[in-house]
Amino acid sequence: MNSEHEPKIVAFLCKWCSSAGSDMAGVSRLEYPSNVIPITVMCSGSVSPLYILSAFNLGADGVLVSGCHPGDCHYIKGNMYARRRMALLKELLPYIGLEPERFQMSWVSAAEGLKFTQIIKEFVKQLKPLGPQTQLRRSL
Amino acid sequence: MVEVEKIREEARRLLQEGQVRGVIGYVRGPQGVWAVPAMIRNPEDVDRLVWNPTCVHNLVLFVVEEKKEQARQKEPDKRPLAVVVKGCDSRAINVLLQEKFIEREEVILLGVSCENSGVVDKKKLLNLVPSQKIEEIVYGNNGHIVAVIDGERRVFPPEEVLADRCLECQANFPVVYDHFFGEKIKKEAINTSPGVDKIEKMRLEERRRFWEEELSRCLRCYACRSVCPMCYCTECVVDPISFAVEPTTTAEEKAKKIKWIEKSPLLSENFVYHLVRAIHLAGRCVDCGECERVCPEDIPIRLLNKKLEREAWRLFNYVAGMDSQAPSLFSTFKETDPEDFIR
Amino acid sequence: MRKKIGVFVCHCGINIAGTVDVKKVAQELSEFPGVSYTVDYVYMCSDPGQNLIIQKIKEEKLDGVVVACCSPNLHETTFRRAAQSAGLNPYECEIANIREQCSWVHKDKDKATEKAIKITKGIVEKLRWNEPLQPIKVPVTKRALIIGGGIAGIQTALDLANSDIEVVLVEKNPSIGGHMIQLSETFPTLDCSQCILTPKMVEVSKHPKIKLYTYSEVQEVTGYVGNFQAKILKKPRYVDPDKCTLCDECTQVCPVVVPNEFDLGLTGRKAIYIPFPQAIPATYTLDIEACPGVLPIACGKCWDVCEPKAIDFDMKPEIVEEKVGAIVVATGYDLYDKKNMAEYGYGKYPDVLDGLQFERLLSASGPTRGKILRPSDHKEPKEIVFIQCVGSRDPELHNKYCSKICCMYTAKHAKLYKHHVHDGQAYVFYIDIRAGGKGYEEFVNRTMEEEGVLYLRGKVSKVFEENGKLVVWGVDTLAGQDIEIRADMVVLAMAIRPSSGAEKLAKILKAAQDTDGFFAEAHPKLRPVESLTAGVFLAGVAQAPKDIPDTVAQAGGAAIKVVSILSQPELLHSPLVAQVNEHLCTGCSMCVDVCPFSALSIVEGKAKVNEVLCEGCGTCAATCLRSAIEVKNLTHLQVHDMLTASLGGLK
Ligand SMILES: Cc1cc2nc3c(=O)[nH]c(=O)nc-3n(C[C@H](O)[C@H](O)[C@H](O)COP(=O)(O)OP(=O)(O)OC[C@H]3O[C@@H](n4cnc5c(N)ncnc54)[C@H](O)[C@@H]3O)c2cc1C
Ligand code: SF4
Ligand code: SF4
Ligand code: FES
C-alpha cells in the first residue's frame, strides 16, 4: 500500500525566485509529479514555523520551503533569517520522531526550473515509501 | 556560603528607604521545609526570607506578572522591584531586557549563588526519605545537600537529589545582578543533557513512540505556559486562551482568530502545541525547569527546550540570556550559518 | 458578511484546457463556500474575456474575483485593471496559477485537474480575507543618478539632461569615457572612436543640467524609488581643477613611473597624471598610492613647480549626499583576468596581447602612434594570430556565456592589421562567427575575402615561446588536422566580465545580479532595462555584453524609463505593507531588528511601520512570536486558510 501512497506536499515558494523558478519549469514544459501544491509567499523569510507545523497538522505529508540563493533574496536577507529558523525546525522535527525527509528547504532561482522539478521529483520519491504522515495530522 | 541574613539586611534597607515597592523572594512555605515565593512589602516581614536548596521557583515570573498588573493600573507605583535571582533566573531577566519587556531600572537584582550545587528535586528527595519527617534542607559541602530528619543530619550527594537542570547547569551563579550573595564558583556540568542524548540515540520510531506516550498524557492545562516567564505574550498564538470575547468583539474579529490547533487535547494538537512552544522558546528558554516541575502529568517538557538549546549552541553559538544587548537568536544571522540541510 | 466571489477559469486555448478539465474546475469551485459564480472561457485575457469578467462583476454583484489562468507575473495587472473598471478594488482580484505551475508541468489530466482545483480553492480562501487597498502616494525627486561614465552613462546622462532632468553622473576613474575612449576605430563603419565620443564628453561637462563627479564612488544608497539618498565618496585628486592650467610641468618632474591604465600597461605614466589629453574633466590627478609621500621631505617636486598652486596635499576624501528619484547603473565591464589564461602565455610573453591592448596599438594617439609594433622589440609582426572566445563559452573552466562583441572586433583587428601591414599574414581561430547586426556579416566577409585573413575553425591548446617566435598549437576542426603557427604576435579576444565593483554596487543598490555577475534585468524580454529593484535601471555592458550601438540604444531606453518615473507628480507605492496589531505587540523589537529596509521602529512600546519604506517581504511577520505584525493581504490567517483549502480537499 505504501508504494501506492501519493504524498501531499505543500511548497512555500518565494515570489521572486522559487515561484518564478517553478514558472520557468512550466515555460520549459518540464514535467514533474502533481503532488505539490505551491503557495507563493513574498519571501522565504516570511515563512513562519507555524505555517509548516500547521501544514503537517492539516494533513501534508511533506513541506518544502524554497527561496532565493544566499545573496539573491529580493529583500536582501529574508532568506538568511529563514535559514536560521528552518535549521532549528529541521533538527526539532526528527527529534520527536518525524521522518527528516518530510521537511525540506531549497534555494531555487528564477532560472532554475530544472532544479525545481528535480527537487519535487526527489521529494515525492522519498516520501512515497514513508506512507502518510500521521504524527502531526489532526484526526478528529 | 550565602548568608541569608545579608539578603534580609539588603531587603530591609531597600524597603525602609522606600527604594523598592516590594521584594520578591522565598519564604518557608506552609508545607514546612519547602520554600514558596513571596512578595514582601513591609520591612518587618523581611525576616521571613530564606535561601536554601528548596528555592526552586523562577521568581522572574512574578516580575512579569507585576509588570502586567502595573499596565492595568491607573496610577501604578513606578518604584522598582527587588527580586532574588539564581543563575538561571538572572538569564531570564536578560531575555526580558533583550526583548524590552522590562527596563533595567525596573528591577533590583539580589543575585544568589547556587553554592556549587543547585536546587532539590522534591520528587527525587521524597523517594529517598518520607516527607513529613524532613525538618530542614540546607547546603552542605562540595555541593552536597543536607536534610535534617528527626533531628538527624543526612547528607546526599548532588546526583541523587538535585533537579536535573541543576546537574546540567553550566552557569550556576547570576550573570546580571545588583547585589551578589555567596561565591561565584564555576561548576562543571555533569552532563549537559543526558535526557537529550538518550532521545538522540533512539531510532526514529522509538523517538516517535516516546513522545507519543509522553504527549498523549498532556491535558493542555497550560500550566507549563502559565509558569514560564518567557510566555508573557498577551495572547498565545497557538491557543488564544486569553482572547477576550467582549461585547464589542465583532463577528469578523472572531472569525479572524486563527485556529492553528483544536482546543481538545488530541495527540496531534498536543504535538503542535509543544512544538510551537519549543520553537518560540528557542534562544529564550533559560532552562529554569519550571514547566516540567509544574506539569501534573510529569511530561519531560524540558527535553524539547533542551534540544533546541543544544542546537542553538551547536549551529549558532547562541546561549539564551547571556547578553541583554545582543540581538535575539532569530532576529540576527551570520553569513556563515550552516546550510548543509538546504538543497 | 461573506464576500461574493466569482471564479473565472481560463482555457488558455489548449494550454490549460489540454491538461486540466477546466469545466470540472469551474464546477467544483461553484460548490465551494463563498463562491457565487463560476465560468470557464477560452481566453480570459482577450478583450471578450476581460469583458466577461467586467460584465459578471456587475451582474452578479461580485465582491471579488479569482482568475484561474497563467502566472500572476503575466496577467495580474490586466485582470486587476479589468476588475477595477467594473468598480472593484483591484486588490479584490487574485490569480490562481494553473498554467505554469500546473497544466504545463503535468500530463495526467485527472491529477492536474485535482491540483488545479486545490490551487484555485486556496486562492479563493486568500481572497476571502483580502482588504481593498489604495496605493500609497509618495513624492518624487526629479533628479537621476547615473553610475558609470562610459558611453552608456554618457548617453543616458545627455538624454536625460536634454529632457530637462537634472543628472548626477558618478565615475570612479579620473575621467569619463569608459572603454570606448580607448578604442581605435569602431566596427562596422571604422569611424574613429575618440572623434565620435569626445564631443559627447565635452557636452556632458558643459551641460547645465549635469553634475559630474569623477574619481568618485557611490558608497551608500538609502530610500526607495522616487526618493533615494546617495552618499558619494569623492576621492581626493590633490589637484584643484579650477586652478590647473594643464601646463604639464608636474609630470615632467615627477620621479615615479607606474603602468598606465589607459594604455593597459603598454606605457607608463607618472604618479601625477592626466589619463589622456582629452580627459573630462580636463585636469590632473595625483595617484596617492604611487606618490612616495606628500611631505616635502619625501618628494613634493610637483608642488614646487606648479605655478598656479593647483596642487593641494591636504585634500581629504569628501562625502557628498545627493537626493535622486531614479538610478541608472552603467558600470560597464572589465576584461577577464589574465591570471585565468596561463595556457596562452598571457601576462608571461610581452607579445601576447588582449584586445584592448591591441586597440591601443592601433590608436593614432596610442603608445606606437598607430603603428603595429611588438612591445618586446618594436618590430612589425609579420604573422599574427587572433584567438576568439578566450574565456568565453567554456562552462567547465571559464565563463559559460558568449561575450558577443569579440567576433566583430577580431574581424576589425584583423582588417586593420592588414591595412597597416600589407605583407603580413593574419590568422583567426574561432569557434563560430556570430555577426548578427546591421552590416556585420558583410564586414566579416570582407575581412576574410578582401584582406585575405585566414579563418581557422578550432581551438588553440597552447601558446609558447621558441626562438623569439610565439608558437601557437591549435586544431583546425574543419580540415581535421593539428596546426602549428609560428607567430610574431598573438591577440586574445578575452571574455567580457562585469566591472570589478559590480558585486559591491549590487549590494549597495539592493539590485540583483545574474549568475554571471551582470546586473539582472527585470524580464529578459519585456523589461530589459529595468532592474528588479524599483527605480534602478540598467544601461550598457553592466547588464550584458554588447557593442556600442546596442549600448547607446539601451542607454536611451533607460533614459526614457527614468523619465517615465520622474515625470509623474507622485509615485504610487504598493499598499501590501506590514501592519501591527497593537493589542498583541509587546514591543520586543525583534521585527525592527530583522527588517531589511529599516521600515520599523518602536514608538511608545509598539512596533510602527513606515509604509513607504516597507517592501512587504513579511520577514517581520515570521519573526514575531505573537503574530502581532503581518503583511496586508497575506496574513497568517490567509495562509492558514489557504493551507486548509488546498489540503482539506485531499483524500
Ligand atoms: C577590444 C574591444 C574592442 C571593441 N570594439 C568595438 C567596436 O569596434 N565597436 C563597438 O560597437 N563596440 C566595440 N567594443 C565594445 C565597447 O567597448 C562597449 O560596447 C562599450 O564600451 C560599452 O560601454 P559601457 O558604457 O557600457 O561600459 P564601459 O565602457 O566599460 O564604461 C563603464 C564606465 O563605468 C565606470 N565604472 C565602473 N564601475 C563603476 C563604479 N562602481 N562607480 C562608478 N563608475 C564605475 C568605468 O570606470 C567606466 O568608465 C569593443 C570592446 C573591446 C573589449
Ligand atoms: S516582533 Fe512582534 S511583538 Fe515584537 S515589536 Fe515586532 S510586532 Fe511587536
Ligand atoms: S514586511 Fe518586510 S519590509 Fe515590511 S516591515 Fe516587515 S520586514 Fe520590514
Ligand atoms: S525573495 Fe526569495 S527568499 Fe527572499
Express each pLDDT in C95-145 by its tens digit.
999 999 999 999 999 999 999 999 999 999 999 999 999 999 989 999 999
pLDDT for position B189: 64
Enumerate residues 6+ apart whose C-beta is below 8 A from C227: C138, C139, C140, C141, C323, C325, C612
Q: Could you give the residue ranges of the DSSP H alpha helices within C254-300? A: none
Please check the confidence at residue A1 and state whether its pLDDT lies above 60.
no
Query: The complex's ipTM?
Result: 0.96
The verdict on A137 touching B (C-beta cutoff 8 Å) is yes
Ligand 3 near C609 CB (within 6 A): yes
Q: What is the domain count for chain A?
A: 1
pLDDT at A3 over 70: no
Same fold, C143-235+318-332+499-566 and C335-497: yes
- Condensed to tens digits (0 to 9), the pLDDT of residues B209-231 reads 999 999 999 999 999 999 999 99
Pocket test for ligand 1, best of C547, C550, C554 (most atoms within 8 A of CB): C547
Question: What count of CB pairs under 8 Å joins B to C?
Answer: 49
Q: Which residues of A touch C515 (CB under 8 A)?
A: 109, 111
Averaged pLDDT of chain B: 91
Verdict on whether the full-model pTM lies above 0.90 = no
Return the sign of the alpha-carbon dihedral for residues A39, A45, A47, A52: positive
CB of A117 closer than 6 angstroms to any ligand 4 atom? no
DSSP B21-90: SEEEEEEEETTEEEEEEEEE-SGGGGGGEE-STT--S-THHHHHHHHHHHHH-SS---S-EEEEE-HHHH
Cβ(C540)–Cβ(C551) below 8 Å:
yes
Considering the four listed CATH numbers 3.40.50.720, 3.50.50.60, 3.40.50.10320, 3.30.70.100, the one that applies to the domain covering C335-497 is 3.50.50.60
Interface contact A54, partner B, CB < 8 A: yes
Q: Which residues of chain C have pLDDT under 50?
A: 649-651
Q: Where are the domains of chain C?
A: 5-134, 143-235+318-332+499-566, 249-305, 335-497, 577-631
Residue B245: is it exposed, middle or buried by C-beta count within 10 angstroms (0-12/13-18/19+)?
exposed
Give the residue-averaged pLDDT of B48-54: 93
Closest by Cβ to C590, choosing from B237, B260, B330: B330
* Average of per-residue pLDDT across B177-186: 87
C-alpha cell at C102: 500546473
Q: Mean pLDDT throughout B309-337?
A: 93
DSSP assignment of A36-67, as one string? EEEEEES-GGG--HHHHHHHHHTT-SEEEEEE
CATH architecture type of domain C143-235+318-332+499-566: 3-Layer(bba) Sandwich (3.50)
| Residue C178 Cα: closest atom of ligand 1 | 49
Cβ contact, residue pair C593, B237, below 8 Å: no
So what's the pLDDT on residue A14? 97
Asked if A133 has any chain B CB less than 8 Å from its own CB, the reply is no
- My answer on whether omega of the bond before C188 falls inside 30° of 0, hence cis, is yes
Whether A40 is covered by a domain: the verdict is yes
Question: CA nearest C129 in B: which residue?
Answer: B256
| pLDDT score of B242 more than 60 | no
Cα distance between residue C440 and residue C500, in whole Å: 30
Q: Is residue A60 part of a domain?
A: yes
Q: What CATH number should be reported for the domain holding residue A58?
A: 3.40.50
**Residues B234, C583: C-beta atoms closer than 8 Å:** yes
Res B131: pLDDT: 65
List C-alpha distances in Å: B258 to B243, B261, C420.
Answer: 11, 9, 80
Instruction: Quote the domain boundaries for residue A97.
Output: 9-127
- Tell whether A87 is covered by a domain: yes
Residue C515 phi/psi, 5-degree rounding, is -65, -20
Inter-residue contact C35 to C7 (CB < 8 Å): yes
Residue C617 alpha carbon to ligand 3 centre in Å? 5
pLDDT digit string, tens, across residues C59-102: 999 999 999 999 999 999 999 999 999 999 999 999 999 999 99
B32 or C405: whose pLDDT is higher? C405
Rounding to the nearest 10 degrees, give the CA dihedral for residues C216, C220, C222, C224.
Answer: 60
Q: Please, where are the H alpha helices in C274-330?
A: 301-305
Whether the CB of C154 sits within 6 Å of ligand 3: no
- Name the one residue in this structure whose C-alpha cell is 546617495: C230
Orientation angle between helical segments B267-281 and B302-316, nearest 10 degrees: 40
Q: Burial-class residue C302 by CB neighbours within 10 Å (0-12, 13-18, 19+).
A: buried
Residue B201 contacts by C-beta under 8 Å, 6 or more apart in sequence? none
Contacts of B234 in chain C (CB under 8 A): 583-584, 586, 626
**Does any ligand 2 atom lie closer than 6 A to the CB of residue C508?**
no
Ligand 4 pocket test, pick from A12, A46, A79 with the greatest ligand atom count within 8 Å of Cβ, gives: A79
Which ligand 3 atom is at minimum distance from the Cα of C631? 1
Closest residue by Cα to atom 1, ligand 2, is C624
The grid coordinates of residue A4 equal: 501506492
Q: Between C101, C122, C618, which is nearest A42 by CB?
A: C618
Residue C1 is predicted with a pLDDT of 67
Question: Does CATH number 3.40.1350 belong to domain C5-134?
Answer: no
Residue A93 is assigned to a structural domain of this protein? yes
Considering A1-10, B246-255, C555-564, the range whose residues carry the highest mean pLDDT is C555-564
- Residue whose cell numbers read 536554601: B52
Residues in chain A closer than 8 A to B210 (CB atoms): 97
B258 neighbourhood in chain C, CB within 8 Å: 627, 636-637, 640
Give the model's pLDDT for residue C341.
Answer: 87
Q: How confident is the model at residue B245 (pLDDT cuts 50, 70, 90)?
A: low
How would DSSP label each residue in C341-390?
Answer: GGGGTTTTSTTEEEHHHHHHHHSTTSTTTT----TTT-PPPSEEEEEEEE
Which triple of cell numbers denotes residue C50? 476581460
Look at residue B241 in the predicted model and tell me its pLDDT: 59
pLDDT exceeds cutoff 90 at B238:
no
Q: Give the C-alpha separation, B185 to B116, whole Å.
A: 6
Contact pairs from chain A to chain B, CB under 8 Å = 117
The whole-number pLDDT of residue A129 equals: 95
The cell for C198 is: 569626445
Encode burial over B18-52: b for 16+ CB neighbours within 10 A, e otherwise. eebbbbbbbbbeeeebbbebbbbeebebbeebbbb
Q: Which residue in A has a C-alpha nearest to residue C16's C-alpha?
A: A26
> Are residues C437 and C412 in contact, defined by beta-carbon separation less than 8 angstroms?
no
Record: contact B275-A96, CB cut-off 8 A: yes
Give tens-digit pLDDT for A64-114: 999 999 988 888 889 999 999 999 999 999 999 999 999 999 999 998 999
Beta-ladder partners of C41:
C10
C-alpha to C-alpha distance for C517 and C519, rounded to whole angstroms: 6
Q: What is the dotted CATH code of the domain comprising C577-631?
A: 3.30.70.20
Please provide residue B6's backbone torsions phi and psi, each rounded to the nearest 5 degrees: -70, -40
Within 8 A of C602 by CB-CB distance, chain B residues are 100
Tell me, using a 6 A CB cutoff, whether residue A43 lines ligand 4: yes
